[in-house]
Amino acid sequence: MTEAVVLQSARPEHRAEVDVLLQQAGLSSMGLDSAYAQGWVALSGARVVGFLTADQVGEAALVRSLAVDPGWRCQGVAARLLARCKRDWRAQGVRQLWLLTETAVDWFTQQGFQELGREALPVFWQSHPLVTSVCAGSAHLMHCRLLQWQVRPATEADQPAIADIFNHAVLHTAHTFEEVARDAEAQAAWWAARQASGEAVFVAEDEDGRILGWSALGRFRARPSYRYTGEHSVYLAPAAKGQGIGTPLLRAVMQAAQDLGWHTLIAVIALPNDSSVALHAAAGFEQCGWLREVGNKFGEWRDLMLMQVILPAEPSVA
């Protein structure tokens, strides 16, 4: 259902519905007037189903009022709102995000935030109404650094960082069904295979030279009639999630596939992975299959969702 949601800047006519959303989520609208105009809404038709904004002081912003309609929760709406707002805040010069939450520590951690002690909160936020009057002393303080990056073709020097990011997913998530971390020899073999086949690999690199994520193109199947069909991977470092980095990495492999004359790309997504489903839906992929209980990782049966996009340029079939 996330493909039916449109994001746009909050307008005065949305305010009444936003207040209802905040009330349903148990969130206060105290002090919201000054931050409302900088917010974004998620719309299903003309109906507001999500909202997010922040108060900004210089290069810091206090994230507040993230609310999603109960009927639209767990469908990637919150992640899309946060990613969209991060892009806006980054463009406005924001580099540090702060928030207080009592119930969503795990979710915000998945979006690239880290929990810190309350004493780390900057002095200028300590008198904010959310801090002094709304959030209880038991609320968790979380922080995220907004990163600047570029997407470029990977090199041999990037392989240790690519392996580190992949191995974190192997050992700590069910987003890949691989169960053994990739050592240096295995990573070298992986890289050599892609160099030999001409299948593209890209990395997102920040201003300090750190690799934040990577994407790779590959064949969907080895048999010759599949030669115009590709499969791809997109992986992000934990601290880079929720910052919009996945989109340019995905677009890079889509363009590479198109340049090769390929006709279609298949995304094979291990569930649950709301952020990946939303990422691909926003790029034009549509669900085309669902394989139930085909993997067992961490003692649980896992489903796979198949999503597909037909690329704009069709090959000259030979």
Give me the residue spans of the domains in the chain.
2-145, 149-310
**Short-list 252, 283, 147, CA closest to 205:** 147
Cβ 303 vs Cβ 293: under 8 Å: yes
The whole-number pLDDT of residue 241 equals 86
The whole-number pLDDT of residue 118 equals 82
Length of the chain: 318
The whole-number pLDDT of residue 134 equals 57
pLDDT tens by residue, 234-255: 999 998 887 889 999 999 999 9
The whole-number pLDDT of residue 27 equals 85
The whole-number pLDDT of residue 318 equals 42
149-310: same fold as 2-145? Answer: yes
Query: Domain 2-145, what architecture?
Result: 3-Layer(aba) Sandwich (3.40)
pLDDT exceeds cutoff 90 at 125: no
pLDDT exceeds cutoff 90 at 277: yes
Lookup: tokens for 239: 């601290």
Report the mean per-residue pLDDT for the chain: 90
DSSP codes joined into one string, 137-182: TTPEEEEEEPPPEEEEE--GGGHHHHHHHHHHHHHH-SSS---S--
Select the highest-mean-pLDDT range: 81-95, 99-113, 136-150, 173-187: 173-187
Q: Identify the weakest region by mean pLDDT among 36-50, 79-93, 128-142.
A: 128-142
pLDDT band at 316 (very low <50, low <70, confident <90, very high): very low
pLDDT exceeds cutoff 50 at 14: yes
Instruction: Enter the CATH code of domain 149-310.
Output: 3.40.630.30
Global pTM exceeds 0.75: no
Query: What percentage of the chain exceeds 90 in pLDDT?
Result: 65
Cβ 35 vs Cβ 44: under 8 Å: no
The whole-number pLDDT of residue 156 equals 95
pLDDT exceeds cutoff 60 at 3: no
pLDDT tens by residue, 188-222: 999 999 999 989 999 999 888 999 999 999 999 99
Q: Identify the weakest region by mean pLDDT among 19-28, 118-127, 284-293.
A: 118-127
